[in-house]
A and B are shown apart, each in its own frame.
Chain A
Amino acid sequence: MRCGDYKESYLKDEEIFQTVFVKFWLALFFIFLLILPFFANTYILYVANLVGFAVIAAVGLNLLTGFTGQISLGHAAFAGVGGYTLAILMTKAEFSFWLALPCAGLVAAAAGLIIGIPSLRVKGLYLCIATLAAQFIFEFIFIHWESMTQGVRGINVPSPQVGSFLFNTEARFYYLTLGFVVLTVAYVRNLVRTKTGRAFIAIRDRDLAAEIMGINLFKYKLTSFAISSFFAGIAGALWVSFMRIVTPEHFPFHLSIQYLAMVIVGGLGTVLGSIFGAIFMTLVPEILNVTTSAMSDVIPQLEHLFIPLKEVVFGCLIVGFLIFEPHGLAEIWRRIKAFFILWPFSY
C-alpha cells in the first residue's frame, strides 16, 4: 500500500521514473510494444507506424511550442525537407538509409534555423505567420525544383536495409520506428531537465526576464527551432522510407495544423502530453473510421450520414477536451493516476 513518495533531494525530484511502480508498468508496456507485431495484423501495424512518426514530430514540436513558447505552423514543411533530403540522398547520391537519415534531420534542422531567425524579432501571431510562409515556400520548392524533387511525380525511395535484411513490411519497420521513438522521447525528456531545457522554459515564461537573467535568446531560440525541426525531419524521413515514395502531397499545410493540434490536445510543455496527443490525433480518426464503416454495415441506408459524421465527432472531441481539460490529455492522465494511487482507499 503506497501512501506517498518521499523525496529527500532535488536530484530525486528530477528523476524521470520516480517510483518502482512506474518502472514496472513502463517495462510491461514496453514488452507489449515489442511483442505487438506477433499478434497484430498489417493494418494495426501500419497505424502503429503512423503513430510512431507522429510521436517523433509532436515531441519535437512540443519542444518548440510547449517548452520554448514559439509557435510554428511550418512543421510539415520541415518534415518534408527531411523526407525529400532522404529521398534525394538515397536515390541520387546512393547514400545508405543509415547515413541519409541523420543527414535528413540535419538539413531539416538547418531549414528550421533559417525559418527560426524571425523569432528573434517577432512573437506570437506574427511568428505564426512567418513560419506559415515557410510552409508555402517549401511546398513550392517541392513541386517546382523538378531536377531534384521530380516535381509532382515524386521520388520512389528504397526500403532501409541492414546487410540483406530489408525493412520492407509494416512489422519490420515497426521495430525501426519504435527504436527511433524511444530515442527521441529519451533525448527530449532528458533535454528539458538540463540547462538548455530550463533556458527554453524561461524564454517561454517571459523572454525579457530570461534575457536579463543572462539567457542568450538568440542562441536558445534558434537551438529550439533547430532541434525541433531535426525531429520533424527525422519523422518525415521515416515516413517517406516507410511509404517508399515521397510526393509534395505528403506534407500539406493541414499536417502542420495537425502537429500543432497534437501538441495542444496532448498538453503543452509535457513530453508525455505530446505522445498522448500524437496517439489521439492518429488513432481516434481511425477508430471513428472503423466505427462508421461498421455502423454503415449494420444500417446501410444511413451510410452517407455516418461517414461524414466522424469529422463532426472528431471536432467535438477536440473541443470537448479543450473545454474540460485545457491542460490536455497529459493532465487527464495525471488525474487518473492520482485517483488510482490510493484506490480503493481514497479520501
Chain B
Amino acid sequence: MMKAKCAAKGLLCFALLFSLILTFTATAVAEEEIKIGAVQPITGRFAFAGVQINAGLEDALMMANEEGGINGKKIKYIMEDGAYQVDTAVAAFKRIMARDNPIIMYGESTGLGKAMAPEIKDRYHILYSSTSFSSELADAAKNPYMYVAGPTYSDMFGILLKYIAKEKPQAKVAFFYSDTEFGRDPVEYGKETCKKLGLELVAEEVSKVGSVDVTSQVLDMKRKGVEYCIFQGFVLSPVPAVMKQAKDYGLKCKFMGTFWTTNKMLLDKLGPMADNYMGVMPYSFYYEENVPMIKKIIEWNKKHHPDVTYRPTSYMQGFVNGLLYVEALKRADKEGALTGDGLVKAMNSIKDVDFGGIMAPVTITDNKIPMGRVFKGNSKTLQFEAVSDWIRLD
C-alpha cells in the first residue's frame, strides 16, 4: 500500500508540473511582434551543426532587432528542438505553428521539409527555409514557399565541375557519395553536367557515412585513374580515410567536397593532407576579416558571446538565412503584406542585394541562390583560401 501511495503522489506531482508548463508556455505576447519559428537539431546526430546554425540565425535576427527591427517592429525568435528525427521535428513544427503561428519557419532537415511540404503549401502558407541544400526543396513550381539560402547540392556540384573543366579540360572525375538521400541528391545532375562540360565521369563510389574501410573504393579509383574526386553526403568520415589511403596507394587525385564537408573540422583532421582538399562555399569564412559583414559578426560575438573564438560555416548558414528573412520582412512590411504570400513575393524580388559581402550580391532565382566560390585547404594555417572568384550558375 505504501508503494501505491508513492505512485499516486508521483502522479499528482506530474500533473502539477504539467499544468505549470502549460502556464509557462501560454505567456501572452505583445502585439507588434513578428514571429519567426525554427525547429533546430539541437540534439541528435546533427547537433554539432545545429547548435551553431541556431546561434547564427538568432544572432542575425537579434542584430536586426538592435538596429531597429523591421521598420520598428521587433522580431521574436521561437526555437524548438527537433532532435534530427522526422516525427519529433514534425511535432515541434506543429507545436510552434499551433501555439505561436509565425509567418516564417526554419527547418532542421531535408526530411522535415519533405514531410511538411504539402501542408506548407496547402494550409500554413508560410515562408520556409532550412539547413538543407536539397535540390528537391528548391523547386518554385512545386514548393513556392520553400527557399534554399544558397546553392543546392546540385549547384555546388555544378560549380565544382565548372572549376574542374576550366582547370583541366576532359579530366577524369569520380563521385564519392554516401548511400543516403543527402549523398544521392546531386548525383544525377552531376552526371549530366559532366557530359555537358566534356568531363569524363569514370567512377561512382558509394560508402556508408562514417565508414572506416574504404580500400575497395580507393583501389577502384586508382584502377580508373581518377584525377578529381568529389565527396557528397558526408560530414567527416570517411573523407580523411579515403584521402589517406589514396596517398598510400599513390593515387594522384584532387579531392573536393560540398558545403558540409567544407569546414574547419575536416581540415583539422586532415592536417598535412589539407593542401589536397578543395571545397565549395557560398558564404565567407569567419577568418575573412576584411569582409564588412564578417567584421560585424565578430564584433557581435565579442559582445554577446565573449567565450566564442571561432564560428563555423554552419553558423554562417543560419546567419545568411536570418539576413534573407530580415530583408524579405522589410520589403513585405513596406508593401503592407506581412503574410507568407507577401514574403514569397518579397523574396523573389531580391535582386543584386549586398549583404555586407558575406556573399556576392544576392539574386534569388528559382527559390535559391546558385553561386559560390571554390576554396582550397592550407595545411599550415588549417584554413580555407579562395582559389576562384564567385561562380554563378544561371
A contact set with B: CB distance below 8 Å:
41-44, 46-47, 50, 143, 151-154, 156, 169-170, 243-245, 247, 249-250, 285-287, 289-294, 297-298, 303-304, 307-308, 310-311, 332, 335-336, 338-340, 346
User: How would you classify the secondary structure of chain B's contact residues: helix, strand, loop or mixed?
Assistant: helix
Contact A335 B3 (CB under 8 A): yes
Contacts A42-B94, A143-B179, A292-B81 hold; do A336 and B111 have CB atoms under 8 A apart? no
| A42 interface neighbour in B8, B25, B47, B98, Cβ under 8 Å | B98
Interface size on B, residues (CB 8 A): 42
10 contacts between A and B (CB under 8 A): A42-B97, A43-B94, A43-B95, A43-B98, A44-B98, A243-B86, A249-B181, A285-B88, A286-B91, A297-B27
Contact A153 B181 (CB under 8 A): yes
**B196 interface contact, C-beta 8 A:** no
Q: Output the residue of A244, A293, A308 with the most chain B CB within 10 A.
A: A293
User: How would you classify the secondary structure of chain A's contact residues: helix, strand, loop or mixed?
Assistant: helix
**B337 interface contact, C-beta 8 A:** no
- A287 cross-chain contacts in B, Cβ below 8 A: 18, 21
Contact B1 A339 (CB under 8 A): yes
8 A-B pairs besides A151-B184, A153-B181, A336-B11 with CB distance below 8 A are A43-B91, A250-B87, A289-B91, A293-B25, A293-B79, A310-B43, A335-B7, A339-B4
Q: How far is the CB of B43 from chain A (nearest CB, A)?
A: 5
| Closest B residue by C-beta to A298 | B24
Contact A338 B87 (CB under 8 A): no
Contact A153 B90 (CB under 8 A): no
Q: How far is the CB of A236 from chain B (nearest CB, A)?
A: 12
Contact B8 A336 (CB under 8 A): yes
Q: How far is the CB of A183 from chain B (nearest CB, A)?
A: 23
Chain B 114-146: CB-based contact to A (< 8 A → 1; otherwise 0): 110110000100000000000010000000000
- CA separation between A197 and B97, bound complex, in Å? 45
| Closest B residue by C-beta to A44 | B98
| A308 interface neighbour in B3, B17, B43, B92, Cβ under 8 Å | B43
Contact B24 A297 (CB under 8 A): yes
Contact B94 A311 (CB under 8 A): no
Contacts A46-B91, A50-B87, A339-B1 hold; do A290 and B21 have CB atoms under 8 A apart? yes
**B42 interface contact, C-beta 8 A:** yes
- CA separation between A93 and B352, bound complex, in Å? 48
Q: How far is the CB of B141 from chain A (nearest CB, A)?
A: 15
Q: Could you count the A-B residue pairs with CB atoms below 8 Å apart for me: how many are there?
A: 100
Contact A247 B114 (CB under 8 A): yes
Contact B118 A245 (CB under 8 A): yes
- CA separation between A308 and B47, bound complex, in Å? 10
- CA separation between A217 and B176, bound complex, in Å? 49
Contacts A153-B136, A245-B114, A335-B4 hold; do A294 and B21 have CB atoms under 8 A apart? yes
Which B100-117 residues sit within 8 Å CB-CB of chain A?
A: 111, 114-115, 117
Which B60-101 residues sit within 8 Å CB-CB of chain A?
A: 79-81, 86-88, 90-92, 94-95, 97-99
- B47 cross-chain contacts in A, Cβ below 8 A: 308
- A151 cross-chain contacts in B, Cβ below 8 A: 184
- A336 cross-chain contacts in B, Cβ below 8 A: 4, 7-8, 11
- CA separation between A153 and B43, bound complex, in Å? 24
Contact A156 B95 (CB under 8 A): no
Q: How far is the CB of A171 from chain B (nearest CB, A)?
A: 12
- CA separation between A42 and B96, bound complex, in Å? 10
- CA separation between A308 and B17, bound complex, in Å? 19
Which B1-49 residues sit within 8 Å CB-CB of chain A?
A: 1, 3-5, 7-8, 11, 17-18, 21, 24-25, 27, 42-43, 47
| B97 interface neighbour in A43, A243, A307, Cβ under 8 Å | A43
Contact B91 A47 (CB under 8 A): yes
**B381 interface contact, C-beta 8 A:** no
- CA separation between A186 and B148, bound complex, in Å? 48
Contact A152 B181 (CB under 8 A): yes
- B24 cross-chain contacts in A, Cβ below 8 A: 294, 297-298
Contact A46 B90 (CB under 8 A): yes
| Closest A residue by C-beta to B40 | A307
Contact A293 B111 (CB under 8 A): no
Q: How far is the CB of B64 from chain A (nearest CB, A)?
A: 18
- A170 cross-chain contacts in B, Cβ below 8 A: 94
- A46 cross-chain contacts in B, Cβ below 8 A: 90-91, 94
Contact B99 A243 (CB under 8 A): no
**B180 interface contact, C-beta 8 A:** yes
- CA separation between A256 and B95, bound complex, in Å? 25
- B386 cross-chain contacts in A, Cβ below 8 A: none
| B80 interface neighbour in A169, A289, A332, Cβ under 8 Å | A289
Contact B5 A289 (CB under 8 A): no
| B81 interface neighbour in A293, A332, A339, A340, Cβ under 8 Å | A293
| A289 interface neighbour in B4, B81, B180, Cβ under 8 Å | B81
- B136 cross-chain contacts in A, Cβ below 8 A: 153
Contact A290 B90 (CB under 8 A): no
- CA separation between A335 and B5, bound complex, in Å? 9
- CA separation between A143 and B115, bound complex, in Å? 17
Contact B86 A249 (CB under 8 A): yes
- A338 cross-chain contacts in B, Cβ below 8 A: 4
- CA separation between A268 and B24, bound complex, in Å? 36
| A154 interface neighbour in B5, B99, B114, Cβ under 8 Å | B114
A-B residue pairs, 5 tightest by C-beta:
A152-B181, A339-B4, A43-B98, A294-B24, A41-B98
- B81 cross-chain contacts in A, Cβ below 8 A: 289, 292-293, 307, 310
Contact A308 B1 (CB under 8 A): no
Q: How far is the CB of B125 from chain A (nearest CB, A)?
A: 15
- CA separation between A151 and B98, bound complex, in Å? 32
**B214 interface contact, C-beta 8 A:** no
- CA separation between A298 and B20, bound complex, in Å? 13
**B51 interface contact, C-beta 8 A:** yes
| Closest A residue by C-beta to B42 | A307
Q: How far is the CB of B189 from chain A (nearest CB, A)?
A: 14
| Closest A residue by C-beta to B10 | A332
- B18 cross-chain contacts in A, Cβ below 8 A: 287
